[in-house]
Amino acid sequence: MTVYRRLAVLGLGIVFAQCWMDRASAADAPQGYPDHTIRIIVPFPAGGTADTLPRIVGQYLSKRWGQPVVVENKSGAGGNIGAAYVATSPADGYTLLASPPGPLAINDSLYKPDSLGFKPPDLEPVTVLGAVPNVLDVRPGFPAKTAQELIAYAKANPGKVSFASQGNGSTSHLTGILFQKLTGTQMVHIPYRGTAPALQDIMASNVDLFFDNLGSSLSLQQSDKLRILATGGKKRDPSLPDVPTLEEAGVASFESSTWFAVVAPPQTSPAIVQYLNQQINEVLALPEVKEQFAKIAVEPVGGSIAETIKFLAAERDKWRSVVKSANISVE
């Protein structure tokens, strides 16, 4: 089952959440929760979709609860620093993690267990905020004007084309590895500490290409600060109807998407996790939240805790297979 099919199943949670919209009340919450500031840790720098989504959702949660919901960025080590911080925080529901796949579904296949500082399966899944296809960005002056031209150029210049990533083992890194494998090209990997610095360098023409998620790159494409040559979805994205998928461009079986999930520290009270799941699902169902997500090309997902657990487990299995087949290690 593809990422988007699995996420479509999770997305049914939003439909059900709309039926609950008027049910949320203080009586639904665990006794006294929340009664002070909730922090959402993002394990990457500010400026990317991973940072934007929890800020949108946090704003509406704050209005509901009458308590501040703040986003803090703790980046480094492919997202492991922020994830380990949450994993070792008190299991009281006041410190949460909002993250793309890296720390939750990829890094335990890349790093030695004792170097992670946490065990991803031990984190308590809450829900999936949203999903977005990855896209192939190139710097403004890159000579290739299409994905086919890029592949031909890279084949003719092995080891001379550079590709940025959000960090070693990130989805953008593994997408670049997958692209090379399927196209028979050889490029130079340049890891960054998140989406924002990678985008800054591609706009400055310091790196040739970047497999970013559409949400972060769309406005930059529209303002001609970079060019999107293709998307990684199974079908063309409505935001870019004239841009082909990489499969359409001749890269058979290529699919790459990014999702963003919320988890809590290990052993957080089931009542708190269930309450957070309900509240976030209801926020994701709000028309104004859907509209804000759409502006950055993100599809809200949501879903039950059981569905989220199943989805994350399937994603870990998928990425473990990719990492093993490519013999990738960051240590």
| Helix (H) / strand (E) containing 263 | strand 257-264
Q: What's the rounded mean pLDDT across residues 79-84?
A: 95
Q: Please tell me whether residue 218 adopts helix, strand or coil conformation.
A: helix
Confidence band (pLDDT; 50, 70, 90) for 63? very high
Q: What's the rounded mean pLDDT across residues 249-274?
A: 95
Q: What's the rounded mean pLDDT across residues 103-123?
A: 90
Residues near 40 by beta carbon (within 8 Å), at least 6 away in sequence: 54, 58, 69, 70, 71, 72, 96, 97, 98, 262
The span from the CA of 331 to the CA of 69, in Å, is 35
Widest pairwise Cα distance in the chain: 65
Classify burial at 309, counting beta carbons within 10 Å of its beta carbon; exposed 0-12, middle 13-18, buried 19 or more: middle
Q: Which residue has the higher pLDDT, 280 or 1?
A: 280
Q: If you count DSSP H runs as helices and E runs as strands, how many of each does the chain have, helices first? A: 13, 10
* HEC-encoded secondary structure of 276-315: HHHHHHHHHCCHHHHHHHHHCCCEECCCCHHHHHHHHHHH
* Residue 148 phi, psi (nearest 5): -60, -40
Q: pLDDT at position 330, please?
A: 74
Residues near 137 by beta carbon (within 8 Å), at least 6 away in sequence: 199, 202, 209, 210, 211, 212, 217, 220, 221, 226, 227, 228, 229
Q: Please tell me whether residue 122 adopts helix, strand or coil conformation.
A: helix
Q: pLDDT at position 321, please?
A: 83
Confidence band (pLDDT; 50, 70, 90) for 242? very high
Q: pLDDT at position 234, please?
A: 87
Task: Tell me: pLDDT of 93 over 70.
Answer: yes
The span from the CA of 209 to the CA of 140, in Å, is 10
- Average pLDDT over the chain, rounded to an integer: 90
Confidence band (pLDDT; 50, 70, 90) for 318? confident
Q: pLDDT at position 265, please?
A: 98
The span from the CA of 228 to the CA of 134, in Å, is 10
* HEC-encoded secondary structure of 149-197: HHHHHHHHCCCCCEEEECCCCCHHHHHHHHHHHHHCCCCEEEECCCHHH
Q: What's the rounded mean pLDDT across residues 167-182?
A: 89
Task: Tell me: pLDDT of 21 over 70.
Answer: no
Task: Tell me: pLDDT of 185 over 90.
Answer: yes
Q: pLDDT at position 7, please?
A: 67
Q: What's the rounded mean pLDDT across residues 307-315?
A: 95
Up-side HSE of residue 173: CA atoms within 13 Å toward CB? 24
pTM of model > 0.85: no
Confidence band (pLDDT; 50, 70, 90) for 13? low
Q: pLDDT at position 18, please?
A: 47
Task: Tell me: pLDDT of 19 over 60.
Answer: no
Terminal Cα distance for the chain, rounded? 31
* Residue 48 phi, psi (nearest 5): -100, 180
Confidence band (pLDDT; 50, 70, 90) for 120? very high
Q: pLDDT at position 26, please?
A: 40
Up-side HSE of residue 32: CA atoms within 13 Å toward CB? 3
The span from the CA of 198 to the CA of 218, in Å, is 15
pLDDT in tens, 29-62: 788 999 999 999 999 889 888 999 999 999 999 9
Task: Tell me: pLDDT of 202 over 80.
Answer: yes
Task: Tell me: pLDDT of 3 over 90.
Answer: no
Task: Tell me: pLDDT of 27 over 80.
Answer: no
Q: Amino acid letter at 37?
A: T
Q: What's the rounded mean pLDDT across residues 161-175?
A: 90
Whether the domain at 3-132+258-326 and the domain at 134-231 fall into the same CATH topology: yes
Class of domain 134-231: alpha beta
Fold of 3-132+258-326: D-Maltodextrin-Binding Protein; domain 2 (3.40.190)
Confidence band (pLDDT; 50, 70, 90) for 147? very high
Q: pLDDT at position 25, please?
A: 41
Q: pLDDT at position 91, please?
A: 97
Q: pLDDT at position 23, please?
A: 43
The span from the CA of 122 to the CA of 112, in Å, is 16
User: Do 130 and 260 meet the contact criterion of CB atoms below 8 Å apart?
Assistant: yes
The span from the CA of 270 to the CA of 124, in Å, is 9
Domain ranges for the chain, please list them. 3-132+258-326, 134-231
The span from the CA of 17 to the CA of 15, in Å, is 5
